[in-house]
Amino acid sequence: MSAPVRVESAGDIAVIVVESPPVNALSQAVRAGLSAAIEQADRDPAVRAIVLHGAGKAFMAGADLRELEEPPKAPLLKDVLTRLESSAKPVIAALHGAVLGGGAEAALACHFRCATSDLQLGFPEVKLALLPGAGGTVRLPRLVGVKKALDLMIGGGSLGLQEALSAGLVDRAAGDEDARTAALAYAREILERGIGVRRARDRVIPESGQAKRVLIPEYRAALPRAARGSQAVERILQSVEAALELPFEAALEQAQAAFQECRISSESRALRHLFLAERGSGGEGAKSARDTARPVVRIGVVGAGTMGSGIAAACAQAGFSVVLVDAAPAALEAGLRRVQSITDSAVKKGRIGPEEARAVAARLRGVGDLAALCDADLIIEAIIESLAAKQTVFEQLGRLAKPGAVLATNTSTLDVEAIGRASGRAADVVGMHFFSPAHVMRLVEIVRVRDSAPEAIATALAVTRRLGKTGVIVGNAFGFVGNRMLYAYGREKELMMLEGVEPSRIDQALENFGMAMGPNAVGDLAGLDIGVSARREWKERPDDPRFFRVSDLLVEHGRLGQKSGAGFYRYVGPERRREIDPEVVELIRAEASRLGVPRRDVAEEEIIARCIYALINEGARLLEAGIARSGADIDVIWCNGYGFPKSRGGPMFHADTVGLSQILRLIGRYREAVGPRYWSPAPLLERLAGAGGSLSGYRAGGQPAT
């Protein structure tokens, strides 16, 4: 394998080329190569200028995240960039594509910057609970001022070419030339005009007189609550304050120390785990999707309800030709209106322009007959959650669809194998479980069954990625991975309500833990009757009169959730303002008495532990059964589909953070307190705890991860 950094000659200009696919991440090998290349070019008397160029699609797209799990290895990026900036010869950055994180810091250390129109320059470290630790907090304020620098680093967004030019971060636009050619021409112009080096470190921060005293305190006070509680955000602010007060080298050291504090924090470790897990969620299917996916141009969607219309909108916005089918004219018309509303909202929010909105509308048509799908490459069924109804649709699709078309069911709980058999062409059948609202939520569980052809799975994964979503391949079991675990999580909150905990207390406790919404509020939003219907189809549901009895009871009383104006809460006015309803508390109390469930005091700690540890225990069972392929896949599913706090990395990563032995101890405590029926530890959890293993690192069929 060739070295990731090389020096090429262009007359009296040295071109330092970084070529470390896929994105020229600043690994230790790249840093060492850069350090040597800079030294070589700067000392060569035949070299008058240096161009720094990233080969491939990106200049440099940041750090190698896997290296952040270990103590830093020399040379540190801050030292490499200090040497780069110290060059006596002008250094010109040839920027193109992704110039992110450490790559953006490298660009700032260069004396001049030339960029192409595809530039994406930014500092996304805060999204991983980190900060720019190699000079970004010190150089950026000198180039753009304190306010703009804080906006870029705390916002975590990126700038295009025109924005970067306006901000003063780019000196020259490449025009029609590629980045290397344009940067070489710019370097020759700099030499001809005798322009000396321009180091960011030598510049004075524009607002230095007032920033420390007024600007930064005001900026800190105006931050949203979530940002004010972020360690990384506070470290960014402190590092910019240091840049105002300390000499350049001392401020660099302070930023590096702050970076190391953030690097070892549980929040950053969790977010880095999730970042890598999402990129690996396709597993072996990722390569398969590139190599064996069947071509998809036309997509059919069966069912024009909320889910079907959301799927149709997502597909049309991604450039597919879409046919939305519903036999009921009123339902079809309503579905098409929903798609139009989704498109109108995207225009209003600036996500697409009016011309693209018209193109989306042109790519979609609604029909009432399944026969219109005879030329579709992929057909996604999204009708009611009834096995019999879905089998009827797939029996028809098996006859109507063209050979090689992939048939996908959007079921959230049902047996995909049984649905596939009804089609008579089970090899073409997969599950594609979208999450509501389908045009917004990023997660799709792709359900593989024994008969599914690898090409069908690869096609579903490839389409999911084209939709801009994260596909996770899962096995076939009731509820698959996400919803199967949801039943364990929900089971405990339902039992605790019978034990005397009010619905609002449960929601508040789990929101305090970090869940996006409490489980009872989520149930009201989704519709409690949906859960009732799904549980009726579950042949192996626990034979326990307490199991989800509170939700069933509310539906029996016509309390379906937000859509009926009442569920666990009541919803008042056109804005559906949520209010606690004493009637619900009384209904639950009476039902608990009928079932003989004793009332008891339950602390917030127990509310959280019973719900979250039940979730973890069920996840371990699914891992052992091979329904989930890895602990990391479970984390991706729960953080992207169910509102689990990303700052905790997902339920499996959270289990590792707490400690598997500690979780086993608490499972034993709840076994004694509330009975053994649901509180037997998963054998995998016991084995991994005994071996010092990891749930988040476990792969089904593999050895316990340590």
Say yes or no: 46 and 194 in one domain.
Answer: yes
The upper half-sphere exposure of residue 663, i.e. CA atoms within 13 Å in the direction of its Cβ, equals: 34
Say yes or no: 250 and 172 in one domain.
Answer: yes
Considering 445, 474, 503, which residue would you say is the last residue of a domain? 474
The upper half-sphere exposure of residue 341, i.e. CA atoms within 13 Å in the direction of its Cβ, equals: 9
Considering 421, 444, 474, which residue would you say is the last residue of a domain? 474
**pLDDT at residue 228 in the model:** 82
Active-site entry in 125, 381, 445, 455? 125
Q: Decide if 94 is inside a domain.
A: yes
Task: 509-517: list long-range contacts, CB under 8 Å, 24+ apart.
Answer: 509/604, 509/607, 509/608, 510/607, 510/608, 510/611, 512/604, 512/608, 513/608, 513/612, 513/645, 514/644, 514/645, 514/647, 514/648, 515/643, 515/644, 515/645, 516/643, 516/645, 517/643
Return the CATH number at 369.
3.40.50.720
- SS3 of the chain: helix, strand, coil, percent, to 5: 55, 15, 35
Active-site entry in 85, 105, 278, 385? 105
Q: Which two tokens stand for residue 609?
A: 């532990």
Say yes or no: 238 and 377 in one domain.
Answer: no
**pLDDT at residue 285 in the model:** 47
Return the CATH number at 252.
3.90.226.10
**pLDDT at residue 279 in the model:** 86
Q: Which two tokens stand for residue 596?
A: 């003989």
**pLDDT at residue 208 in the model:** 66
- The number of domains in the chain is 3
Q: Decide if 348 is inside a domain.
A: yes
Considering 474, 508, 538, which residue would you say is the last residue of a domain? 474
Q: Determine whether 125 is an active site residue.
A: yes
Phi, psi of 22, rounded to the nearest 5 degrees = -90, -15
Q: Decide if 289 is inside a domain.
A: no
Helix axes 604-625, 482-498, angle to 10 degrees: 150
The upper half-sphere exposure of residue 11, i.e. CA atoms within 13 Å in the direction of its Cβ, equals: 7
Say yes or no: 249 and 318 in one domain.
Answer: no
Q: Which two tokens stand for residue 603?
A: 């602390």
**pLDDT at residue 217 in the model:** 87
Q: Decide if 288 is inside a domain.
A: no
What does the alpha-carbon distance between residue 462 and residue 456 come to, in Å, rounded to a whole number?
10
What does the alpha-carbon distance between residue 405 and residue 402 come to, in Å, rounded to a whole number?
6
Q: Decide if 31 is inside a domain.
A: yes
Say yes or no: 652 and 507 in one domain.
Answer: yes
Say yes or no: 395 and 518 in one domain.
Answer: no
**pLDDT at residue 701 in the model:** 67
- Tens digits of residue pLDDT in 627-662: 999 999 999 999 999 999 999 999 999 999 999 999
Q: Decide if 276 is inside a domain.
A: no
How deeply is 318 buried, as exposed, middle or buried, from its count of CB atoms within 10 A (0-12, 13-18, 19+)?
Answer: middle
Return the CATH number at 506.
1.10.1040.50
Say yes or no: 516 and 399 in one domain.
Answer: no
Please confirm whether the linkage preceding 454 is cis (ω < 30° from 0): no
pLDDT < 50 regions, the chain: 284-285, 288, 703-706
State CA 108 to chain mean position distance.
28
**pLDDT at residue 555 in the model:** 97
DSSP assignment of 237-286: HHHHHHHHHS-HHHHHHHHHHHHHHHHTSHHHHHHHHHHHHHHTTTTHHH
In three-state secondary structure terms, 370 is helix
Instruction: Please name which of 26, 16, 8 lies closest in space to residue 79, comparing C-alpha atoms.
Output: 26
Say yes or no: 150 and 89 in one domain.
Answer: yes
**pLDDT at residue 706 in the model:** 29
The model carries a pTM of 0.91
The whole domain housing 502 covers: 482-691
Return left, alpha or beta for 365; rule: phi > 0 is left, psi -120 to 50 is alpha, else beta.
beta
Say yes or no: 454 and 487 in one domain.
Answer: no
Q: Decide if 287 is inside a domain.
A: no
Say yes or no: 391 and 500 in one domain.
Answer: no
Q: Decide if 612 is inside a domain.
A: yes
Say yes or no: 255 and 404 in one domain.
Answer: no
Say yes or no: 467 and 520 in one domain.
Answer: no
In three-state secondary structure terms, 323 is strand
Q: What angle do CA 74, 77, 82 make, to 5 degrees?
A: 110
